[in-house]
Structure 1
Amino acid sequence: MDFRRIEVIFLIVFFSLDIFLFLSFRNSQQLVSSSSTNTSTVSEMRKRNISFGTLDSKDGNAYYLGSQPDNSLAQNVDKLRNQEVQYDEEDHRLTSTLNSTIAVTNDNRKKIMDKFLEKETNVLFGRDYKYAPQLSTTSQMVYVGTGDLGDVYDKTDQLVFSIENGRVDSYTQTHVKSLIILHERQSVKSEKDVITNLYANSEIPNNSKISYANMAYTKLLVAKNSTIYIPVWFVTIKNKDSKVSSVKKVNAFTGNIIKNSTNGDSSYNAQ
C-alpha cells in the first residue's frame, strides 16, 4: 500500500478518535503533584519499607502511534529451518515448535536466546526485538518489539519462547513492520510522578520492592482495522514476604492508573 495512502487512513482514524480522547482526558482524574509533595511521599515510602532505586523526575515526550496489520511473517515463513510452523491469518500470529529443543538456565538463557535470534532461519526479524525481563517468567521468555520510537509492550508485537524442564521448545510471534506517528509529540509523566501517584492511591503495599518501572507503547484500541498505541508506564511491584510480583499500568499522558480488562486482553479503555 502506498505510504501516503496509509498516512491518510491513519489521519482519518485519528481524527475520528479526537472527541473520544478529548473527553477521556477531560473526565480523567489528573495527576497533581509538586516537588515538595513528591519528596515527602518518597520519604514516607521508605519508612514503610518500600524499596526502590533513584526515581527520575524528568518529564519526557511520546506520541500516539498507529499500525496496520501486515503479512510480513507469512511472506517470509519459508526462510525458517528446523521447526514446524503454523500461521494464524486472523491474528497475524506465527507459532513454531522447534525440532531440537534448547537447554537454558536462569543465568544463561538471555545470552543463548539472543544468539538464537541473530539467525533469520531461526526467528524472522529477530533484530527487531529485545528481551523484556519485566514481562518474563520462569516458563516464558518475552521479547518485545523495539525501534527508534520506543518499545512495544503489547501482544501485537511480541516474541514469546516457552520453556519446559529447562529447555526452550517452542515460540509464538507477532510483528509490527512499521509504526506511524499520528500526532505531534506530547509530554508524559515522569517516573517519580507515576510511582508517588501509585503509592498515594494505595497501589503499592508496605514491605514491597519496585523491581521495574518502564515506559512502553501498548494498544489503546483498534479502529477501521488500524491499531492505535499509547505510551504506558509498566511498574512491577514485588511483595518481600510472599515474593509475588504484580504489574501496575499507568497512562503516561494523563497519569491515570489503568485497570486490567476483564477479558485479559493487553488493551484497555482510556480513562
Structure 2
Amino acid sequence: MDFKRIEVIFLIVFFSLDIFLFLSFRNSQQLVSSTSTNTSTVAEMRKRNISFGSLDTKTGYAYYLGSRPDESLAQNVQKLRNQKAEYEDVNHSLTSTLSNPIAITSADKIKIMDKFIKKESNVLFGKEYKYSPQLSTKSQIIYVENKSHGQIYDKTAQLAFTVSDGEVVSYTQTYVKSMIILHERQTIKSEKDVITNLYANSEIPNNSKITYANLAYTKLLEAKDSTIYIPVWFVTIKNKDSKVVTTKKVNAFTGNIIKSSTNGDNNYSAQ
C-alpha cells in the first residue's frame, strides 16, 4: 500500500474540508437564530394543524467523516448465488437480478428481507445494513449502512431492492468499508431547533404531519477519490390534504437548509 500517496490525498481532503468549514461558518453567521422563540413557534405550529411528536432538545455531537472507495464488492461477487450480478467500476456499485423473485406483502416484507440480506450468498455484507422506512417507497425497499458513528443516508452506502407486482426482483448495492474521523467532534443542532427553523423558513406547510426526523450522515463532497460525509437531519413531511410526501435536509452542524439540484445532487447552500 502506498502510504505516501494516501497521505497526500488526505492532505488535499483536509484542505478542501477547511475551505468548506470557513464558508459554512460565514453562511451560518447570516442565519437568524430562532432558539429563543422555539416554545412559541411550537405552539404556533400546533395551531396551524401541524402534527408531530415530542421534539428532542438534546444537541449532541457529530463528526466530519471520510472514506475512500474500495473493491470489496467486486472482490466478493463470486460468493453470490441464484442471481445474475454485475459490478460497475465507475460508481463502485453492484447490480443484481434475482433468479427467484421474492414474494412479499406490506405486512411481512421487512421480516422477509431482513432474513434474506443476512445470508452472504444473497447479499454481500448484508448484516451491516439496516432497513430505512424513511427512504423506502412502494417500488423500492431501501437499506442503509449502519456504521459506528451512525447511519449513512447516501447512495454511496445503500442497498436498494426493486419491487414489482408484489415481488422483489433485483437490487443495487454500494458499500463503504470503513470511515475515518476528519475533524474533531462538533456540536449539532437538536431536533427541535431543526424543525422550528424549517417552519420559520416556510418549509413546513399548514395542515401537515412530520412523519420522520432522523439524523444520518450523507455525502458532502468528493476530493481526489475521497468522500467527505457530514451529519444531516432528514425531516419527512406529509401534507394531510394532498398526501404528498417531501423530505427536507438540514445541515446538523450549521442548521442550514440543504437544497437539491435538478439532477438530484445536494447543494449545500443555505436558504
If the length of structure 1 is used for normalisation, what is the TM-score? 0.95
Q: Aligned residue for 2:120?
A: 120
Q: Aligned residue for 2:107?
A: 107
Instruction: Work out whether 1:268 is the aligned partner of 2:267.
Output: yes
Q: Aligned residue for 2:26?
A: 26
AA of the residue aligned to 2:10: F
How many residue pairs end up in the alignment? 269
Q: Aligned residue for 1:254?
A: 254
AA of the residue aligned to 1:71: E
Equivalent residues of 2:12, 2:224 under 8 A apart: no
Q: Displacement, 1:3?
A: 7.4
Structure 1 unmatched ranges of 5 or more: none
Equivalent residues of 1:106, 1:138 under 8 A apart: no
Q: Aligned residue for 2:199?
A: 199
C-alpha distance in 1, partners of 2:249/2:225? 25
AA of the residue aligned to 2:117: L
Equivalent residues of 1:57, 1:192 under 8 A apart: yes
C-alpha distance in 2, partners of 1:241/1:20? 40
Q: Aligned residue for 1:242?
A: 242
Percent of aligned positions that are identical: 74
Secondary structure of residue in 2 paired with 1:259: strand
Q: Aligned residue for 1:146?
A: 146
C-alpha distance in 2, partners of 1:2/1:148? 27
Q: Displacement, 1:11?
A: 3.9
CA change 1:243–1:161 in 2 (3 A) is same
* Pairing 1:173-192 to 2, within 5 Å after superposition: 173-192=173-192
C-alpha distance in 1, partners of 2:223/2:269? 14
C-alpha distance in 2, partners of 1:270/1:61? 22
Q: Aligned residue for 2:132?
A: 132
CA change 1:4–1:125 in 2 (3 A) is farther
Equivalent residues of 2:259, 2:269 under 8 A apart: no
AA of the residue aligned to 1:197: N
AA of the residue aligned to 1:141: I
If the length of structure 2 is used for normalisation, what is the TM-score? 0.95
Q: Displacement, 1:23?
A: 2.3
AA of the residue aligned to 2:232: V
Q: Aligned residue for 1:14?
A: 14
Structure 2 unmatched ranges of 5 or more: none
C-alpha distance in 1, partners of 2:250/2:268? 12
CA change 1:38–1:7 in 2 (3 A) is farther
Q: CA RMSD in A?
A: 1.6
Q: Displacement, 1:6?
A: 4.3
C-alpha distance in 2, partners of 1:220/1:155? 12
Secondary structure of residue in 2 paired with 1:99: strand
C-alpha distance in 2, partners of 1:259/1:17? 20
